[in-house]
Structure 1
Amino acid sequence: MAKLATVQLPANLKDRLMQGHPWVYRNHLPPNLRLPSGDWVRVQCGNWKGFGLWDSQSPIAIRIFSRQEPPTPKWVREQVQSAWDLRSPLRNQGCTAYRWLFGEGDGLPGITVDLYDRFAVVQTYMESAEVLLKWLIDALQTTAPLEGIYLKTQHRLEINERDETENDRSDSQSNSRSDSKVKLIWGQPAPTPLIVEEHGLKFQVDLHAGQKTGLFLDHRENRKFVEGLSKGRTVLNCFAYTGAFSLYALRGGANHVTSVDIGKGLAEAASTNICLNGLDDRRHTFFTGDCFNFLNTAIEQGKQFDVIILDPPSFAKTKQNRHAAQRAYSKLNALALRCISPNGLLVSASCTSQISPEAFKEAIAAAGGTTGHQIQIIHEIGQPIDHPVPAQFPEGRYLKFVVGRVR
């Protein structure tokens, strides 16, 4: 390896680097420092030393990979194997779709890998990740019996917008902007559609369809929790996408489930998933339209539901949008509270990394204050085992999931 450039960092970053934080923002560097994307650099801060990957496009100029030496193919294989081992409980439970590699959470910053049966989907959040792709592809093949590997790329403008929040979901919700491209980079193409399984339920996914594969992997355990709440209840699933929460509610014995999403073709996809699992489609209604409008109309008509699920798209991509996102969550939850039956359940989620767990609960509390309701939190959780959050990297905690009884 050629001699590495050395980047000196301000002394006030030392404590954070010693803890293992993997990001160095460009505004912490000399403004005249220019290097090609994909260069490995030696990073020094006082007597602290590490090795990182330089990116010339992102606000995150350097991602730290190692304290000892620049990564090698063997080092990448070790990270991939470690991540694979961590997910063994999911395989033991028969889950065939999960996030195999969660970037910073698994020691490979800026890269995620989702597994759908025997097909892996690699997604990168930095231009410089290209230098790692060959090593990563080899490591994936060595670790698991794969049939194909896909690479998902996004328009550069979107990557730049997302860099500070790259731990939001890599899949956008159905009513969000999508400019993803997917290409097969190894092996054979996946069948269309591909059937995956989680907790005994089958789902269609489409790996060729850009961002929208058809399943949000981070809510797997939350869907199962909702199943246990649904017996004998009427359920409203807002931002339903292809109906994953709805399927669990139906299997859990809900009297009726209403799914709402604005996306085209999602009603058909949800119906297909229901039939695929032998569930009673007569207990399910899909409304194609805006969720805010649906809730407003339900309020006007006096409709009520025993359980309302809110899983909206990310409301903020940057810190500048944080306060607007907070208001949006309060507004959405307030609408839902006006439609919940007495002692009903509010199931509210946020995938916005710019909103902390405490701030999210404050938004829910504000909604209760607006509508005159009290919310008893009976369940709260973050991310599942395949989305680990390093203790030194709170930015990795993006998912919030709160269930409250409404009084």
Structure 2
Amino acid sequence: MNTIQLKRGHERAYMNGQLNIDREDLSDDTFLKDGEIVKLEDTYGRLIGIAMISFEQKAQGWVLTRDEQEAIDDAFIGRRIREALEKRAPLYNQEDTTAFRLFNEIGDGIGGFTVDNYDNHLLITFYSRGIYKIRDLIIKTLMVELKPDSITEQTRFSNQGKMETINRRIMGNVEFPITVKESGMIYSVHLDEGPMTRLFLDQRETCKTLMHNPFNAKSFLNLFSYSGTFSIAAREGGMMTTSVDLAKRSRELITENFNANNMSLEGQSIYIMEAFEFLKYAERNRQRFDAILIDPPSFSRFGKKVFKVERDFPKLIGEALKVLKPGGHLILSQNLESFTLNQFKRQIDKTLTNAGYSYTLVDVKGLPKDYPTVKGYKNGKYLKVVTVQINK
């Protein structure tokens, strides 16, 4: 087993429990091999832990154990997967929800891959070629423990500096899309058509809130609506919905989900427009909404324009305020890993205060329970959903 050392002065965070290995913390990384098991030490030769090298966007590897005597072998990997599945066993007893996460990277003890269940159809996502080396063991364990109807793998590897996503069917003859249940609603999902499945499992709690409609809202604007899951939940909560997305296919996906739930599209609006353009259009046409949900991508391009969520979210909030009814609610969602909840709350406060608005913080949500995180990887708590009511 090879040994890698941390630079002097970089060991404190690891001594305090950090699990993700950052390249700039290493004294020398030129000889590292993706997927290799190594000893991680400080400059004095003191053991930090046993780690797996995993070249990802978020890390160079993960500390898997602090015990030098614990072998990182097939038994270790299988044990971690089985422990995660045992924790999720109660989820299979839910009658109203058939889609949830089964393994959440380092939150379940091994970084670099996730496993999602869509009504016994599994999607395994690999984030590095290193972790992909143990794919056969992962698949075998899942097949023995769960006996799934199908397994699809998705690889997200860097290729000449760009992220390349490839989906492959491993087993099963299912024809996608299929439908799953979430909190009693029915959604279409597709596991073979790219990085997104049409349903964001991590937003389950936000959908529940919309279904219950504690705001007593009558009208709802869903920006960056994608397949319209938030709109379906809001309609279930009694709101008239307006869904906005730049992708032309969104109209088809939203319509499909409305039909799956036997919901009429009469009175519901779908706009294939860029979000800023729609907000200007809505202001000109005096459209106003009781609740506005903004869930943008972390990064996107539109023509020559580049959207970066950490920089441009305040602009979105500012434009949304112009079409929000007095006393209305903003539901603001952000999933950039490097942007903390406290940073997001400060950004919202600064934006609203500078615009001359007072507000009430109504609700703060993060990841659901099937997305466990650990203190040793702070960026694991990537999802932040903050709801504010703008005071009249």
- 1:247 is matched with which residue? 232
How far apart, CA to CA, are the structure 2 residues paired with 1:234 and 1:57?
A: 42
- 2:271 is matched with which residue? 287
How far apart, CA to CA, are the structure 2 residues paired with 1:294 and 1:325?
A: 18
State the AA in 1 paired with 2:200: F
The aligned runs of 1:111-122 (5 Å cut-off) are 111-122=113-124
Contact kept in structure 2, 1:326 and 1:359, CA below 8 Å: no
- 2:47 is matched with which residue? 48
SS in 1 for 2:226: coil
CA drift of 1:70 comes to: 3.5
- Answer yes or no: is 1:84 the counterpart of 2:69: no
- Answer yes or no: is 1:97 the counterpart of 2:82: no
CA drift of 1:32 comes to: 6.3
Q: Give the % identical residues.
A: 27
- Of the structure 1 ranges 61-70 and 356-365, higher mean CA displacement relative to structure 2 is found in 61-70
The aligned runs of 1:65-214 (5 Å cut-off) are 65-68=64-67, 69-94=70-95, 95-157=97-159, 179-185=164-170, 187-214=171-198
CA drift of 1:227 comes to: 1.7
Q: Residue 347 of structure 1: which of 298, 314, 331 is its match?
A: 331
Q: Residue 236 of structure 1: which of 221, 231, 238 is its match?
A: 221
Contact kept in structure 1, 2:112 and 2:131, CA below 8 Å: yes
SS in 2 for 1:52: strand
The aligned runs of 1:320-399 (5 Å cut-off) are 325-399=309-383
Instruction: Report the CA distance shift for 1:366/1:300 in structure 2 as closer, same or farther (over 3 A).
Output: farther
Q: Residue 24 of structure 1: which of 18, 21, 24 is its match?
A: 21
State the AA in 2 paired with 1:87: R
SS in 2 for 1:81: helix
State the AA in 2 paired with 1:314: S
- 1:275 is matched with which residue? 259
- 2:250 is matched with which residue? 266
**Which TM-score applies when normalising by structure 2?**
0.90
- 1:175 is matched with which residue? none
How far apart, CA to CA, are the structure 1 residues paired with 2:29 and 2:245?
A: 47
- Where does the alignment leave 5 or more consecutive residues of structure 2 unmatched? 301-306
How far apart, CA to CA, are the structure 2 residues paired with 1:110 and 1:244?
A: 27
SS in 2 for 1:156: strand
**Which TM-score applies when normalising by structure 1?**
0.87
SS in 1 for 2:9: helix
State the AA in 2 paired with 1:309: L
State the AA in 1 paired with 2:33: P
Contact kept in structure 2, 1:122 and 1:151, CA below 8 Å: yes
SS in 2 for 1:247: helix
Would you tell me which structure has more helix in proportion to its own residues?
1
Contact kept in structure 1, 2:20 and 2:376, CA below 8 Å: no
- Of the structure 1 ranges 40-49 and 187-196, higher mean CA displacement relative to structure 2 is found in 40-49
How far apart, CA to CA, are the structure 2 residues paired with 1:325 and 1:251?
A: 29
How far apart, CA to CA, are the structure 2 residues paired with 1:79 and 1:17?
A: 22
Q: Which has the higher contact order (CA 8 A, sep 6+)?
A: 1
SS in 2 for 1:30: coil
Instruction: Report the CA distance shift for 1:269/1:311 in structure 2 as closer, same or farther (over 3 A).
Output: same
- Answer yes or no: is 1:400 the counterpart of 2:384: yes
CA drift of 1:286 comes to: 1.0
1:77-126 Cα shifts (integer Å, max 9, x gaps) = 22112222333443333321112111111111111111111121111222
Instruction: Report the CA distance shift for 1:344/1:58 in structure 2 as closer, same or farther (over 3 A).
Output: closer
Pairwise CA RMSD of aligned residues? 2.3
- 1:172 is matched with which residue? none
How far apart, CA to CA, are the structure 2 residues paired with 1:140 and 1:59?
A: 25
1:309-362 Cα shifts (integer Å, max 9, x gaps) = 11111149xxxxxx9643311111111111110111111100111211111112
